[in-house]
């Protein structure tokens, strides 16, 4: 039985004071939630948020990570640095990293393997652009990104990887795939995972949906058999919008 996993990606928002206040509100209001929860603040706020959330039911994540442990990598953050400030999970392969900053499947794979070696959990993001969707390439894109991103990752490590399917055309646009369309794609992703590993891995892997997740669509998405969670962007920036999403089954 897969445990639902709701995560909030704060992107480049919140000063440390603002992040502290939001984390404190979430800690109080989500204390009764039994499924998995995560927030991913900016690098500068991770330690602040981790201190507030220590001992709570909310995991702390990072939004990215360097592909190296140390060295001459100006502006980068290593896995040890993330762990040092309290991060337990790292989001890798987000569409903004792929399409704005040019990260390749090969680079993302290096990060995935390094994160796992260093004891971090991973949320691996995949998803197609609007042009790719209209060209009927959804499954091909997801297969390529999964095959590339998970290269060299053995089945035993998959318990520490969550897949986040995020159609690029739905991120920050207010558009979202219908629950039926999203579930169809999630089922296809699960089939790809069976091809890459086996059916037991495919059945066990948690697959989140991301892309303009809001209170008015989260219940419909989460009711689908292949959708196990949500990676929430804008709606995670306020307690009054994120809390009811995180409590979707209450």
pTM for the complete prediction?
Answer: 0.97
87 in Cβ contact with 61 (< 8 Å): yes
Mean of pLDDT values over 91-104: 96
Upper half-sphere CA count for residue 220 (Cβ side, 13 Å):
12
pLDDT digits (tens, 9 = 90+) for 174-224: 776 889 999 999 999 999 999 999 999 999 999 999 988 999 999 999 999
pLDDT digits (tens, 9 = 90+) for 50-97: 999 999 999 999 999 999 999 999 999 999 999 999 999 999 999 999
Q: What is the pLDDT of residue 177?
A: 80
Q: Are strands 58-62 and 89-92 parallel, antiparallel or unpaired?
A: parallel
94 is catalytic: yes
Write down all domains in the chain, each with its CATH number in brackets: 35-69+76-233 (3.20.20.70)
Q: What is the pLDDT of residue 124?
A: 98
| Helix axis angle, 46-53 to 16-29, nearest 10° | 30
Exposed/middle/buried for 2, CB within 10 Å: 0-12, 13-18, 19+? middle
176 in Cβ contact with 211 (< 8 Å): yes
Mean pLDDT of the chain: 96
Q: What is the pLDDT of residue 250?
A: 61
pLDDT digits (tens, 9 = 90+) for 5-54: 999 999 999 999 999 999 999 999 999 999 999 999 999 999 999 999 99
How far apart CA 26 and CA 40 sit, in angstroms, is: 13
77 in Cβ contact with 54 (< 8 Å): no
Of 96, 103, 128, 166, which residue is the catalytic one? 166
How far apart CA 29 and CA 13 sit, in angstroms, is: 21
Give the number of residues written for the chain: 250
| 171 confidence band (pLDDT: 50, 70, 90) | confident
Of 94, 96, 128, 186, which residue is the catalytic one? 94
Give the long-range contacts of residues 184-191, CB within 8 A, separation 24 or more: 185/138, 185/139, 185/142, 186/224, 186/226, 186/227, 187/225, 187/226, 188/138, 188/139, 188/142, 189/126, 189/142, 189/146, 189/163, 189/165, 189/226, 190/226
């Amino acid at each position: 039985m897969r445990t639902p996993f709701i995560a909030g990606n704060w992107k480049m928002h919140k000063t440390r004071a603002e992040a502290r206040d939001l984390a404190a509100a979430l800690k109080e209001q989500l204390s009764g939630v039994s499924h998995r929860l995560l927030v991913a603040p900016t690098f500068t706020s991770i330690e602040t948020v981790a201190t507030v959330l220590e001992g709570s039911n909310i995991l702390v994540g990072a939004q990215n990570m360097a592909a190296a442990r140390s060295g001459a990598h100006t502006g980068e953050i290593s896995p040890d640095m993330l762990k040092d400030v309290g991060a337990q999970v790292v989001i890798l392969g987000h569409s903004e990293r792929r399409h704005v900053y040019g990260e390749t499947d090969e680079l993302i794979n290096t990060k995935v393997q390094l994160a796992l070696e260093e004891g971090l959990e991973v949320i691996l993001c995949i998803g197609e652009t609007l042009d790719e969707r209209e060209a009927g390439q959804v499954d091909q894109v997801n297969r390529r990104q999964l095959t590339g991103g998970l290269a060299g990752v053995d089945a035993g490590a998959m318990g520490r990887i969550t897949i986040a399917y995020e159609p690029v055309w739905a991120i920050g646009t207010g558009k979202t795939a219908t629950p039926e369309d999203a579930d169809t794609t999630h089922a296809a992703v699960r089939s790809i995972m069976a091809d890459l590993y086996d059916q037991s891995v495919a059945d066990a892997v948690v697959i989140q949906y991301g892309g303009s997740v809001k209170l008015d669509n989260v219940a419909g998405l989460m009711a689908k058999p292949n959708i196990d969670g949500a990676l929430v962007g804008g709606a995670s920036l306020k307690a009054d919008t994120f809390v009811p999403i995180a409590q979707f089954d209450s």
